[in-house]
Amino acid sequence: MKEYNITYTDTFISINKELVLKWVAQHIGFGELCLRFDKNSGKVCIDSERMGRDFVKAVLNKMVDNSVFVDFEKLTKTTKSLNLEEANSLFSFEDHIILLPFYIEQDAELTQYRWHLSKNNVINVWLEGKEENIFSLSQNIQKNKTFPKNFKKAELWTWNIEDK
């Protein structure tokens, strides 16, 4: 099976009762796998956005590898505050890297963004004000190799899996 550099960005159940796995893959892009059980055929149906079986297998394998088995494992989170230089140092500002965050939340004063950095690390960044165009922000971060001047704060979240 071919190797893919896959990161998960979200997993949820859609209003159509499909299990949706959002992913980003280096040199490929981003997308979703939607899984549903068809009662008539007794089969799991997968909408893969025209990605092949090997890619779907790789996504599902990555999901299992990144999962916590609650019967046997305990998940704990640690948080570390970061300044601008520390936050920038965690990113790889290369042309082929997609810097779109997997989570965005806004209020009147701050916009919060989250990026997966590695298997157990997420960076949570707050910028002052509202950001109207996430694609422009991502392009500017990539081009300038730094977060913009309205950087407020950042945190590195790390999850550790321990045997019970």
Query: CA–CA separation, 131 vs 133, rounded Å?
Result: 6
Residue 40 phi, psi (nearest 5)? -65, -45
Query: CA–CA separation, 19 vs 105, rounded Å?
Result: 23
The pLDDT score that the predictor gives to residue 32 is: 93
Segment 26-31 shows an average pLDDT of 86
Question: Looking at the whole model, is its pTM more than 0.75?
Answer: no
Domain boundaries, the chain: 6-65, 73-163
Contact 17, 71 (CB under 8 A): no
pLDDT tens for 38-91 read 999 999 999 999 999 999 999 998 888 888 898 999 989 999 999 999 999 988
Mean pLDDT taken over the chain: 87
